[in-house]
Structure 1
Amino acid sequence: MKFQLDKPKILSQHVDTLVATFKSVDEHEYNKYIIKTLSMLEDFKIDAQNVEGFSNKSRFCKCEPFDGFGTFKVFAQGMGAYRYILENQDVMIFLSNAKFGTDMPQIKVEFRAHYLFSVGQNKAYEYVLKLIDVLLGCKYESSIQRLDLATDIWGVKLEYLDAMRFQNSFKNSNYRQGSKQTGISFGGGSFMFRIYDKLIEIKNSHSKHYVKTKWIVNGYDEALNYNVTRFEAQFRRTELKKYIPQHTSNEIAYVFNHLGNFWIKALQKIKYAPLTNDECLRIADGTLKADSKRQIFNRARKNEDRFQFQKFLYHWDNSISDFPIEYKTIQAPKIEVAKRMLKGFIATAYKAVDGNPRALTDVLIGMQTDMYKFEQKTLHDYGLSKIIDSFIKQEKMKNKVGVQVDFDYSLIAHDAYFKLAESLGSIDAINKFIPSINQSESIEDYFPKTYEKVS
């Protein structure tokens, strides 16, 4: 490892992946509720099967099967013994139509990484338990099937010889992008540990940008151009059972209360040591006996002049792991989003007019003309409306998940609303212009004082 800071900085620690199963323990109540649920899902699944598409992911129907839980996709095909698959922006749910008493759990839930990151594992689990109560309608047993723990560290850069700095019997794999070392993995199956350049992953996948929100709060400075490396432990069921006491009534709650212990268990398996490059090359040579290799590792771990990175990694801070922030608005920095969308607009515009150098101007003028002709609105009016729309969605999400936002947009939205009201000339015009408003609401519910001013 190359350390770019005197002491690396932990930017995030969190549950990155969580899979849980739920099994009914009350036959009468199960049969009473599940038959209705499965019958409803079967109807939605038939609707989804009528949708044409090139892949199973594209064949689904949207519905609101459970009161108070919003819109779900119900897919045309199940998976294995799970006949029904549902998903929303937070979770993916697998349901079986198995009879009561079979060994297989009736429900499996996969938590989305973005959801876990945004509201924290505890609040995410509370939401799922409410949903399970609706689905099963009776007492159940829960178990944890997979747990991934992640730590993002600023100022640590992977090097070519790093695989030699770990003393374990796991099979390891190196990952590269061109001549650059981008990652190492150890193990597989029930346990795996991955170390990789998180900035490269973010660059290659825009959907991963949201993690930067938390990094910045914890001191990350992109201008310094230091690496951020993710250290990630993956436990599957076979491995998890080794560390959960028998007859634990709530496995997931137990794991949440002992995240630090699970993290240390993972680090003890991979056994990092601060070897020099020369020591790595001696080990890689293949001529040393096993006892000589052990002595090299032991001396490195006892050498206080070397940075004992393994001990640094042992730290697990629950205040960093459970870090609720503004949900569903976590994304790439605003300017990055704007630049990316502008690139897409340019590409579309040039294709539409065969590369005419006036493409951008022509498209903007045409859009402005059409909007004013048919809706009596300007592009600036439209921009103001999107500010208000985002604010309303934020308020709804705050009420849904109870998370305080990291930045209050109410004053900005208030000012935009006042300007838009002046421009459009009526409150009704604004209500029609903001997508987030439905029939049971009005914009005045969000800005009552402003409504009094402009009415």
Structure 2
Amino acid sequence: MGHFIKIKSLNDIVDTLKLHFYPNTNITLEEIEILNQNITDFVELKKEAMQIKNQDNQKRFVNTTFANHKFRVMAVSQSSFNVVLQNGDISISLLKYSNRHSNPLIKVEFRAEFLLRSGYKNAIQYVKNIINNLFENYFIKVSEIHLAKDIQGYEFNPFDIHRFKTLSKHKTVFHNDINSEFYFGNKFSGFSIGRGAEMLRVYNKTLEISQKKEKSFIQVLSWNYNPDFDNTQNVWRLEFQLRRERLKELLGKDGLLDSLDNVINSISNLWTYCLERFVFKHLSNDQVHEQVTGYRYNKDSSIEILNPETLRKRFQRANLHIVWESIRTFEDKQAPTLQRIKDIKKPESEYVKNSIKSVISTFIKLNKGHFDSQDLTQIFIDADNECKEKHGVSMIDKARINALDYIVNANVFYEENGLIQYGFHKYKKDFVNNLHDTFALVQNEPSNFYTFQEFQKRLSKL
């Protein structure tokens, strides 16, 4: 099949971009006052907009000018934000600064047409210039980004969703009715795989434009400039969605993709990552049918149940689909994939609560529904004595030694990957100081000699 198909790639675009602006720790009181006062002024305009009677909230707004740009102050704001400003290019949600919360102060959503018309880098700079009129002491994180490519030369069909290999367990097929009557048939329009943090959408962009004329800007601003574009063929969009919960687990050449700059510098790497997370394989229709049903018909018409391992290996051995072979690059770059990695963080109190619940639950079962604090205390004493016999230290000291091992391993991990969450360094410092204070009182006692040696051994590795 691949020898007779020529895939034409029409563009590489950032189709969706959502940014969160957080205040730096050294934000000044003056900046806070300016930000909050501006938001107060916008909220007053919002009150005027709320007086407008209309069932369509998009028509309830008051016009204003800010930073030499025209905006609509909307009557309705997003959850947790004080006010929303909109224009034809962006939507800005604003929240007053407060020491009582650590939420982003500003959320910006870009219109797809604006990203395409201006280019995502220019669009980002445009937003920064506006935000700088509110405050400049901020850092930016990407809440969500969609990378997309429009292609011609292949018509996707309902079988294709089963030609994808992915770690995602969620697959959804979408259809568009030609008529409101089901028996007139459905026109297949695409599918999606994944959910939330990591998703692939494949859909007929030509069909979408025929139904939503406001989407036709893509042809005017992009397709028409490509000499390979054929307006007699369908255009299919391949769109990958990535949200912050996934981005912050990805490690690029500049570090964790936890900041806007690192994400932007890793756009082509993100594309490669997505192609490897959602792999399109070349399987015949018969093979797809067998993949779905789990059986096949032999020549004598008998049914043969296929082993899941056989199906898995078939998928594994199948060649990459010609479509995936043809779209390896993004912005003419074939970049290496990103490493997905879990970051180091300090332990959370929830773990302790859950452990306590588990202890109480098991103890109640042991005592056939009866609870006796003295019995529970004796179990702790017995466990402590067993720990001393087996390890030469009490349960408390053994837990301290284990915690030190955790910190040592975390340090090794950090040195290799440069990946660590805020709060861990302080946790480590406080932990070591607490141990120093504890053993300063008892290190010369013979019963604590072994424990003190183990403590010093692990500290030397930090």
1:259 aligned residue (258, 264, 267): 267
Letter in 1 for 2:205: K
Distance in 1, Cα, partners of 2:61 & 2:32: 27
1:289 aligns with 2:286: no
1:116 aligns with 2:115: yes
Q: Greater relative contact order: 1 or 2 (C-alpha under 8 angstroms, separation 6 or more)?
A: 1
Residue deviations 1:153-179 (CA, integer Å, cap 9, x gap): 011211121111012242211112243
Offset, 1:100: 4.0
**Other structure's SS at 2:67 match:** coil
Residue equivalent to 1:393 = none
1:183 aligned residue (187, 190, 198): 190
**Other structure's SS at 2:10 match:** strand
Residue deviations 1:32-81 (CA, integer Å, cap 9, x gap): 311320221122112212222113222110111x232x210001122211
Residue equivalent to 2:425 = none
Change in Cα spacing, 1:198 to 1:81, as seen in structure 2 (3 Å) is: same
1:139 aligns with 2:137: yes
Change in Cα spacing, 1:3 to 1:62, as seen in structure 2 (3 Å) is: farther
**Other structure's SS at 1:156 match:** coil
Distance in 2, Cα, partners of 1:177 & 1:45: 38
Deviates more, 1:33-42 or 1:214-223: 214-223
Q: What does residue range 294-373 of structure 1 map to in structure 2 within 5 Å?
A: 294-301=312-319, 308-317=322-331
Letter in 2 for 1:315: T
Q: How many residues align?
A: 311
C-alpha contact (below 8 Å) 2:81/2:94 kept by paired residues: yes
Distance in 1, Cα, partners of 2:50 & 2:162: 52
Distance in 1, Cα, partners of 2:309 & 2:256: 41
Residue deviations 1:344-398 (CA, integer Å, cap 9, x gap): xxxxxxxxxxxxxxxxxxxxxxxxxxxxxxxxxxxxxxxxxxxxxxxxxxxxxxx
1:40 aligns with 2:54: no
Distance in 2, Cα, partners of 1:47 & 1:244: 47
Distance in 1, Cα, partners of 2:2 & 2:291: 22
Structure 2 gaps, min length 5: 178-185, 296-305, 334-462
Q: What does residue range 44-443 of structure 1 map to in structure 2 within 5 Å?
A: 44-64=45-65, 66-68=66-68, 70-100=69-99, 102-136=101-135, 138-170=136-168, 171-178=170-177, 179-213=186-220, 214-223=222-231, 225-244=232-251, 251-287=259-295, 288-301=306-319, 308-317=322-331
Offset, 1:97: 2.1
C-alpha contact (below 8 Å) 1:5/1:155 kept by paired residues: no
Change in Cα spacing, 1:60 to 1:199, as seen in structure 2 (3 Å) is: same
Offset, 1:295: 2.1
**Other structure's SS at 1:226 match:** coil
C-alpha contact (below 8 Å) 1:48/1:59 kept by paired residues: yes
**Other structure's SS at 2:12 match:** strand
Residue equivalent to 1:29 = 30
Distance in 1, Cα, partners of 2:239 & 2:208: 14
Superposition RMSD in Å: 2.4
Letter in 2 for 1:277: N
Structure 1 gaps, min length 5: 320-455
Change in Cα spacing, 1:229 to 1:3, as seen in structure 2 (3 Å) is: farther
Letter in 2 for 1:21: H
Offset, 1:141: 1.4
C-alpha contact (below 8 Å) 1:30/1:100 kept by paired residues: no
Offset, 1:281: 1.1
Percent of residue pairs bearing the same amino acid type: 27
Distance in 1, Cα, partners of 2:4 & 2:129: 45
C-alpha contact (below 8 Å) 1:4/1:157 kept by paired residues: no
Distance in 2, Cα, partners of 1:37 & 1:318: 43
Change in Cα spacing, 1:247 to 1:257, as seen in structure 2 (3 Å) is: closer
C-alpha contact (below 8 Å) 1:77/1:83 kept by paired residues: no
Change in Cα spacing, 1:248 to 1:164, as seen in structure 2 (3 Å) is: closer
Distance in 1, Cα, partners of 2:244 & 2:205: 26
Larger radius of gyration: 2
The two structures have a TM-score, normalised by structure 2, of 0.63
Residue deviations 1:132-152 (CA, integer Å, cap 9, x gap): 11122x311111100001100
Distance in 2, Cα, partners of 1:216 & 1:3: 26
